[in-house]
Structure 1
Amino acid sequence: MIGKKKTDATMILSSEDTRLGPSFVEREEVYTPCYCEENVWKLFERLARDEDEWYAVVISNPSRTAVVLEQRAGSAENGGLVIWDYHVIAFRAIGGKADLVLDLDTRLSFPTPASTYFSRTFLPLDLLRQQFGEVFLKVVEAKQYVREFSSDRSHMRLPDGRWQSPPPDYPCILAPDGVGRFEEQMSITSEDVARRREARGWGTVLTLEEFRDRFL
């Protein structure tokens, strides 16, 4: 995730909507800029005892030009628009439908009601397709994400060995075999798009419309 103050930790919603359990965490406790994939892993680590249904979502496309609005790294003049190579968020589902989104990079409230997040975070589909390329969503169950996510952070190294952005202060999150699978897990390829809606090894790829039909 390449692109760029502490904000409110929670949004005042109804007591039912904020039923996140005692393990819920404030945004900045797990946040490292440009490491959204690890931020979400740390969120799930904190929410391990939560009985709700949680998912990670990798936002990208085959050209790695995913247009996302309302991002803290974007400018207010452009609606917080950032073109990420990939971005990762989390959402909670109740009865199979998304009700809250946790995006640690959003300018919106944290957490954000799912309907608000998906109406304000993405450009209209026709504009996306014409100018930027469609955005796809790879949906991964939280338990699988925590169990299998593996990154040695090599994608954040410049050719001279310097970091593109300072890494988190904890060790790399690696699977038991010690093999990094960042490219496989965080990319959405043309083959993934062609075979979308299939539950494959690492999540299910959906279009925005398909995601809305299924989860909203």
Structure 2
Amino acid sequence: MSWELRREECKYTSCYCEENVWWMCNELIRLGVRCFAVVCSNPNRTTPVFQQRAGNEANAGLVVWDYHVFCMQCDAEGKAIRVFDLDTRLDFPQDATEYFERTFPEGPMLFLRQTFGDIFFRVVEGESYLREFSSDRSHMKLPDGKWQAPPPSYACILQDDGVNRFDEQMAISSKDHRERGSGWGTVYSLDEFRETFLYNNKHL
């Protein structure tokens, strides 16, 4: 590669993956890399994700997030090559096919869907994510005004109109999937995502 993005050089704040990805998209686009932000969620806001640093080794790093966001690099054919996830135990970046095999393993995910429901993936062009993502971080405030997790030291990422769009951008409903392509980004099921974006062979 003629460019390199190291984990230790990325802006990172625990529990603010949506903002971490905004900064990664910003850097990758500056480097001339075609990238996408991928929001994982479902109507129940229960998204099982394996190989997470916040998870337990005994459970293969499984965490059930209300949502999770990572960044992926795609080639000219629109297939994912690498995934950039600052919360994963895996390499950074990680080959996209291996990332999905280990982060959303087929057998365990089929079992977990009985408890947590299907998960969906909202895929947003990196440029669109930079232009349109907008959060005032109010979702991280408790009723008493305290933070659920310490916020980043930099100012909120708000667009010029100052409107907080976090809830609509991170939430994924069954309607979003049925009418995919009609809203922000395009929403896929896990099987549809694999078929659309992944190579059968390792690409790294």
Q: Give the root-mean-square deviation of aligned CA atoms.
A: 1.4
Asked if structure 2 preserves the Cα contact closer than 8 Å seen for 1:66 and 1:86, the reply is: yes
Asked if structure 2 preserves the Cα contact closer than 8 Å seen for 1:59 and 1:66, the reply is: yes
Q: Which residue of the partner structure matches residue 118 of structure 1?
A: 100
**1:52 aligns to 2:33 (yes or no):** yes
TM-score, length of structure 2 as denominator length: 0.91
Aligned partners of 2:129 and 2:6: how far apart in 1? 18
Amino acid in the other structure paired with 1:209:
D
Aligned partners of 1:131 and 1:31: how far apart in 2? 31
Where does 1:176-191 land on structure 2 (aligned, <5 Å)?
176-191=160-175
Asked if structure 1 preserves the Cα contact closer than 8 Å seen for 2:73 and 2:80, the reply is: yes
Aligned partners of 2:85 and 2:48: how far apart in 1? 15
Which one has the bigger helix percentage?
Answer: 2
Aligned partners of 1:190 and 1:135: how far apart in 2? 10
Query: Percent identical across equivalent pairs?
Result: 55
Moved more, 201-210 or 26-35: 26-35
- Residues 98 and 42 of structure 1: CA distance in aligned 2, closer, same or farther (over 3 Å): same
Could you tell me which runs of 5 or more consecutive residues in structure 2 were left unpaired when the two chains were aligned: 199-204
- Which contiguous aligned blocks of 4+ residues in structure 1 show a shift greater than 4 angstroms? none
**1:146 aligns to 2:127 (yes or no):** no
Aligned partners of 2:17 and 2:29: how far apart in 1? 18
Asked if structure 1 preserves the Cα contact closer than 8 Å seen for 2:29 and 2:126, the reply is: no
Q: Which of 108, 121, 125 is 1:137 aligned to?
A: 121
**1:65 aligns to 2:49 (yes or no):** no
Asked if structure 2 preserves the Cα contact closer than 8 Å seen for 1:25 and 1:46, the reply is: no
Asked if structure 2 preserves the Cα contact closer than 8 Å seen for 1:138 and 1:204, the reply is: yes
Amino acid in the other structure paired with 2:22:
W
Residues paired across the two proteins, number: 195
- Residues 20 and 173 of structure 1: CA distance in aligned 2, closer, same or farther (over 3 Å): farther
Say which SS state the counterpart of residue 155 (structure 1) adopts. helix
Asked if structure 2 preserves the Cα contact closer than 8 Å seen for 1:27 and 1:104, the reply is: no
Where does 1:9-20 land on structure 2 (aligned, <5 Å)?
19=1
Amino acid in the other structure paired with 1:99:
I
Question: How far did residue 71 of structure 1 move?
Answer: 0.2
**1:39 aligns to 2:29 (yes or no):** no
Aligned partners of 1:185 and 1:193: how far apart in 2? 14
Amino acid in the other structure paired with 2:35:
W
Question: How far did residue 214 of structure 1 move?
Answer: 0.8
Aligned partners of 1:62 and 1:28: how far apart in 2? 34
Asked if structure 2 preserves the Cα contact closer than 8 Å seen for 1:128 and 1:135, the reply is: no
Question: How far did residue 45 of structure 1 move?
Answer: 1.8
Asked if structure 1 preserves the Cα contact closer than 8 Å seen for 2:44 and 2:116, the reply is: no
Asked if structure 2 preserves the Cα contact closer than 8 Å seen for 1:150 and 1:179, the reply is: yes
Moved more, 167-176 or 26-35: 26-35
